[in-house]
Amino acid sequence: MDYPGTGVKQPEVSIDLNGFYSSNFEQFEHPDQSSNAPNSGSISSPTGQISAQAYRRTNAGAAGKFMENSGFGWLLEVNEEDSDQIPLLEELDIDLTDIYYKIRCVLLPLPYFRMKLNIVRESPDFWGPLAVVLAFAILSLYGQFGVVSWIITIWFCGGFMVYFIARALGGDVGYSQVLGIVGYCLIPLVVTSLITPLFSSFRLLSNGLGMFGTIWSVYSAGTLLCVDELQAKKPLVVYPVFLLYIYFYSLYSGV
Protein backbone atom coordinates (compact mmCIF):
# COMPACT_ATOMS: atom_id res chain seq x y z
CA MET A 1 0.00 0.00 0.00
CA ASP A 2 1.34 3.45 -0.98
CA TYR A 3 0.70 6.55 1.03
CA PRO A 4 0.06 9.63 -1.17
CA GLY A 5 2.98 12.02 -1.41
CA THR A 6 5.47 9.79 0.34
CA GLY A 7 6.54 7.36 -2.37
CA VAL A 8 7.26 4.77 0.31
CA LYS A 9 5.74 1.36 0.02
CA GLN A 10 4.62 -0.04 3.39
CA PRO A 11 4.15 -3.70 4.12
CA GLU A 12 0.60 -4.93 4.01
CA VAL A 13 -1.07 -5.80 7.27
CA SER A 14 -3.70 -8.50 7.63
CA ILE A 15 -5.82 -9.60 10.58
CA ASP A 16 -5.83 -13.09 11.96
CA LEU A 17 -7.53 -14.67 14.95
CA ASN A 18 -4.20 -14.99 16.71
CA GLY A 19 -3.44 -11.25 16.42
CA PHE A 20 -1.61 -8.96 14.04
CA TYR A 21 1.33 -10.14 12.01
CA SER A 22 3.40 -8.72 9.19
CA SER A 23 3.05 -10.02 5.67
CA ASN A 24 6.70 -9.39 4.96
CA PHE A 25 7.47 -12.98 4.00
CA GLU A 26 11.17 -12.37 3.74
CA GLN A 27 11.31 -11.47 7.41
CA PHE A 28 9.01 -14.39 8.23
CA GLU A 29 11.11 -16.91 6.32
CA HIS A 30 14.42 -15.64 7.74
CA PRO A 31 13.78 -14.61 11.32
CA ASP A 32 16.44 -13.17 13.51
CA GLN A 33 18.20 -16.16 15.10
CA SER A 34 19.59 -14.09 17.96
CA SER A 35 16.15 -13.26 19.28
CA ASN A 36 14.72 -15.91 21.60
CA ALA A 37 11.60 -13.99 22.57
CA PRO A 38 8.36 -15.75 21.64
CA ASN A 39 5.78 -14.15 19.39
CA SER A 40 3.46 -12.00 21.43
CA GLY A 41 0.42 -13.02 19.43
CA SER A 42 0.94 -16.77 19.60
CA ILE A 43 -1.40 -19.00 21.58
CA SER A 44 -0.17 -22.34 22.86
CA SER A 45 -2.13 -25.28 21.62
CA PRO A 46 -3.55 -27.74 24.14
CA THR A 47 -1.50 -30.87 24.75
CA GLY A 48 -4.51 -33.17 24.90
CA GLN A 49 -3.59 -34.47 28.41
CA ILE A 50 -6.02 -34.37 31.31
CA SER A 51 -5.44 -35.27 34.94
CA ALA A 52 -6.16 -38.78 36.16
CA GLN A 53 -8.64 -37.39 38.67
CA ALA A 54 -10.64 -35.61 35.92
CA TYR A 55 -10.55 -38.80 33.85
CA ARG A 56 -11.95 -40.82 36.74
CA ARG A 57 -14.68 -38.27 37.28
CA THR A 58 -15.58 -38.38 33.60
CA ASN A 59 -15.84 -42.17 33.64
CA ALA A 60 -17.37 -42.48 37.09
CA GLY A 61 -20.85 -43.19 35.75
CA ALA A 62 -24.18 -41.97 37.03
CA ALA A 63 -23.51 -42.94 40.65
CA GLY A 64 -20.12 -41.25 40.62
CA LYS A 65 -21.52 -38.05 39.10
CA PHE A 66 -24.29 -38.03 41.69
CA MET A 67 -21.74 -38.28 44.50
CA GLU A 68 -19.67 -35.53 42.91
CA ASN A 69 -22.68 -33.24 42.72
CA SER A 70 -23.67 -34.10 46.29
CA GLY A 71 -20.27 -33.16 47.67
CA PHE A 72 -19.09 -36.71 48.34
CA GLY A 73 -16.60 -36.92 45.50
CA TRP A 74 -13.74 -37.29 47.96
CA LEU A 75 -14.92 -40.86 48.54
CA LEU A 76 -13.92 -41.69 44.96
CA GLU A 77 -10.42 -40.30 45.26
CA VAL A 78 -7.59 -42.83 45.20
CA ASN A 79 -4.11 -42.18 46.46
CA GLU A 80 -1.91 -42.53 43.40
CA GLU A 81 1.33 -42.65 45.37
CA ASP A 82 2.81 -46.12 45.61
CA SER A 83 3.06 -46.79 49.32
CA ASP A 84 5.39 -49.61 50.35
CA GLN A 85 3.49 -52.35 52.14
CA ILE A 86 5.44 -53.44 55.22
CA PRO A 87 5.06 -57.15 56.09
CA LEU A 88 3.14 -57.84 59.28
CA LEU A 89 6.02 -59.64 61.02
CA GLU A 90 8.37 -56.74 60.25
CA GLU A 91 5.82 -54.21 61.42
CA LEU A 92 5.40 -56.07 64.72
CA ASP A 93 9.18 -56.44 65.02
CA ILE A 94 9.05 -60.25 64.93
CA ASP A 95 12.15 -62.02 63.66
CA LEU A 96 11.46 -65.76 63.53
CA THR A 97 15.10 -66.59 62.76
CA ASP A 98 16.26 -64.65 65.80
CA ILE A 99 13.63 -66.31 68.01
CA TYR A 100 14.66 -69.76 66.79
CA TYR A 101 18.32 -69.08 67.57
CA LYS A 102 17.45 -67.84 71.05
CA ILE A 103 15.43 -70.98 71.69
CA ARG A 104 18.47 -73.04 70.74
CA CYS A 105 20.62 -70.98 73.12
CA VAL A 106 18.21 -71.74 75.97
CA LEU A 107 17.95 -75.43 75.19
CA LEU A 108 21.72 -75.81 74.69
CA PRO A 109 23.36 -73.52 77.27
CA LEU A 110 26.50 -75.61 77.69
CA PRO A 111 29.79 -74.21 76.35
CA TYR A 112 30.29 -77.39 74.33
CA PHE A 113 27.68 -76.29 71.76
CA ARG A 114 29.44 -72.94 71.18
CA MET A 115 26.25 -70.90 71.06
CA LYS A 116 26.34 -67.12 71.40
CA LEU A 117 24.43 -67.08 74.67
CA ASN A 118 24.83 -63.34 75.21
CA ILE A 119 22.50 -62.63 72.27
CA VAL A 120 19.51 -63.56 74.46
CA ARG A 121 20.51 -60.91 76.99
CA GLU A 122 21.87 -58.21 74.68
CA SER A 123 19.09 -58.41 72.08
CA PRO A 124 15.86 -58.79 74.06
CA ASP A 125 12.49 -59.15 72.38
CA PHE A 126 8.92 -59.48 73.63
CA TRP A 127 6.98 -61.78 71.30
CA GLY A 128 9.23 -64.82 71.67
CA PRO A 129 9.08 -64.98 75.49
CA LEU A 130 5.36 -64.18 75.40
CA ALA A 131 4.74 -67.13 73.07
CA VAL A 132 6.71 -69.43 75.38
CA VAL A 133 4.83 -68.23 78.46
CA LEU A 134 1.48 -68.69 76.72
CA ALA A 135 2.46 -72.19 75.61
CA PHE A 136 3.40 -73.09 79.19
CA ALA A 137 0.18 -71.57 80.51
CA ILE A 138 -1.96 -73.58 78.08
CA LEU A 139 -0.13 -76.80 78.95
CA SER A 140 -0.41 -76.08 82.67
CA LEU A 141 -4.07 -75.18 82.84
CA TYR A 142 -5.59 -77.75 80.45
CA GLY A 143 -8.05 -75.37 78.82
CA GLN A 144 -8.65 -73.09 81.83
CA PHE A 145 -7.92 -69.99 79.79
CA GLY A 146 -9.25 -67.70 82.50
CA VAL A 147 -6.05 -68.28 84.52
CA VAL A 148 -3.68 -67.53 81.65
CA SER A 149 -3.60 -63.89 82.79
CA TRP A 150 -2.35 -65.07 86.19
CA ILE A 151 0.59 -66.89 84.57
CA ILE A 152 1.48 -63.76 82.58
CA THR A 153 1.23 -61.67 85.76
CA ILE A 154 3.63 -64.01 87.54
CA TRP A 155 6.00 -63.69 84.60
CA PHE A 156 5.99 -59.89 84.79
CA CYS A 157 6.16 -59.70 88.60
CA GLY A 158 8.73 -62.49 88.98
CA GLY A 159 10.87 -60.95 86.24
CA PHE A 160 10.76 -57.62 88.05
CA MET A 161 11.86 -59.22 91.32
CA VAL A 162 14.81 -60.91 89.61
CA TYR A 163 15.65 -57.62 87.87
CA PHE A 164 15.53 -55.73 91.17
CA ILE A 165 17.83 -58.25 92.89
CA ALA A 166 20.27 -58.27 89.96
CA ARG A 167 20.44 -54.47 89.92
CA ALA A 168 20.87 -54.36 93.70
CA LEU A 169 23.84 -56.72 93.36
CA GLY A 170 25.46 -54.42 90.79
CA GLY A 171 24.44 -56.17 87.57
CA ASP A 172 24.16 -54.07 84.41
CA VAL A 173 20.93 -55.57 83.08
CA GLY A 174 17.61 -54.06 82.04
CA TYR A 175 14.09 -55.13 82.88
CA SER A 176 13.35 -56.09 79.27
CA GLN A 177 16.46 -58.28 79.23
CA VAL A 178 15.45 -60.10 82.42
CA LEU A 179 11.88 -60.47 81.21
CA GLY A 180 13.05 -62.00 77.94
CA ILE A 181 15.46 -64.42 79.65
CA VAL A 182 12.86 -65.57 82.20
CA GLY A 183 10.32 -66.10 79.42
CA TYR A 184 12.66 -67.96 77.08
CA CYS A 185 13.99 -70.16 79.84
CA LEU A 186 10.53 -71.62 80.37
CA ILE A 187 11.18 -73.68 77.22
CA PRO A 188 12.68 -76.66 79.12
CA LEU A 189 9.56 -76.75 81.29
CA VAL A 190 7.43 -76.68 78.15
CA VAL A 191 9.41 -79.62 76.73
CA THR A 192 9.12 -81.67 79.89
CA SER A 193 5.42 -80.77 80.16
CA LEU A 194 4.88 -82.34 76.76
CA ILE A 195 6.71 -85.53 77.77
CA THR A 196 5.40 -85.94 81.33
CA PRO A 197 1.84 -87.07 80.38
CA LEU A 198 3.37 -90.09 78.64
CA PHE A 199 4.62 -91.30 82.04
CA SER A 200 1.60 -90.28 84.11
CA SER A 201 1.25 -93.82 85.44
CA PHE A 202 4.79 -93.59 86.84
CA ARG A 203 4.42 -90.71 89.25
CA LEU A 204 7.99 -90.84 90.50
CA LEU A 205 9.35 -90.69 86.95
CA SER A 206 7.02 -87.86 85.94
CA ASN A 207 8.04 -85.82 88.99
CA GLY A 208 11.69 -86.51 88.19
CA LEU A 209 11.16 -85.20 84.66
CA GLY A 210 9.49 -82.10 86.07
CA MET A 211 12.38 -81.39 88.42
CA PHE A 212 14.85 -82.01 85.62
CA GLY A 213 13.04 -79.44 83.48
CA THR A 214 13.06 -76.96 86.37
CA ILE A 215 16.80 -77.36 86.98
CA TRP A 216 17.39 -77.05 83.23
CA SER A 217 15.46 -73.78 83.15
CA VAL A 218 17.27 -72.44 86.22
CA TYR A 219 20.68 -73.31 84.79
CA SER A 220 19.89 -71.63 81.47
CA ALA A 221 18.54 -68.50 83.16
CA GLY A 222 21.50 -68.28 85.55
CA THR A 223 23.97 -68.66 82.68
CA LEU A 224 22.28 -65.94 80.63
CA LEU A 225 21.63 -63.53 83.49
CA CYS A 226 24.94 -63.57 85.30
CA VAL A 227 27.05 -61.02 83.46
CA ASP A 228 30.64 -60.25 84.41
CA GLU A 229 29.59 -58.13 87.39
CA LEU A 230 27.48 -60.97 88.82
CA GLN A 231 29.78 -63.94 88.36
CA ALA A 232 31.02 -63.74 91.95
CA LYS A 233 27.43 -63.36 93.21
CA LYS A 234 25.85 -65.97 90.99
CA PRO A 235 24.20 -68.01 93.81
CA LEU A 236 22.38 -64.88 95.02
CA VAL A 237 20.90 -64.40 91.56
CA VAL A 238 20.15 -68.06 90.86
CA TYR A 239 18.23 -68.57 94.12
CA PRO A 240 15.27 -66.24 93.33
CA VAL A 241 15.25 -67.61 89.79
CA PHE A 242 15.04 -71.12 91.23
CA LEU A 243 12.08 -70.13 93.44
CA LEU A 244 10.33 -68.55 90.46
CA TYR A 245 10.62 -71.68 88.31
CA ILE A 246 9.61 -73.90 91.22
CA TYR A 247 6.43 -71.83 91.42
CA PHE A 248 5.90 -72.20 87.68
CA TYR A 249 6.29 -75.96 87.98
CA SER A 250 3.86 -76.08 90.89
CA LEU A 251 1.28 -74.36 88.70
CA TYR A 252 1.69 -77.13 86.18
CA SER A 253 1.80 -80.09 88.57
CA GLY A 254 -0.87 -78.74 90.93
CA VAL A 255 1.32 -79.30 93.99
How far apart, in whole angstroms, are the C-alpha atoms of residue 186 and residue 35?
85
Q: Does the pLDDT of residue 107 top 80, yes or no?
A: yes
Cα separation, 70 vs 255, in Å, equals: 70
* Polymer length in residues for the chain: 255
127-182 pLDDT, tens digit each? 899 999 988 888 877 656 667 788 889 999 999 999 999 999 888 889 999 999 99
> Does the pLDDT value for residue 45 go beyond 50?
no
pLDDT digits (tens, 9 = 90+) for 76-87: 665 555 456 777
pLDDT-based confidence at residue 23 (cuts at 50, 70, 90): very low
> Which residues neighbour 89 within 8 Å (Cβ) at sequence distance 6 or greater?
95, 96
For the chain, report the end-to-end CA distance as a whole number of angstroms.
123
How many domains is the chain partitioned into structurally? Answer: 2
H-helix or E-strand spanning residue 13: strand 13-16
pLDDT band at 28 (very low <50, low <70, confident <90, very high): very low
Between CA 51 and CA 57, with CA 53 as vertex, the angle to 5 degrees is 120
Res 25: pLDDT: 44
Q: Answer whether residue 40 is part of any domain.
A: no
Q: What pTM did the predictor assign?
A: 0.62
What Rg do the C-alpha atoms of the chain give, in angstroms? 40
Q: Residue 167 falls within a domain, yes or no? A: yes
User: Domain range spanning residue 63?
Assistant: 51-78
The verdict on 56 and 181 lying in the same domain is no
Q: Mean pLDDT of all residues in the chain?
A: 75
Residue 11 has pLDDT above 60, yes or no: no
Q: Is residue 37 part of a domain?
A: no
> Which three-class secondary structure state does DSSP give residue 184?
helix
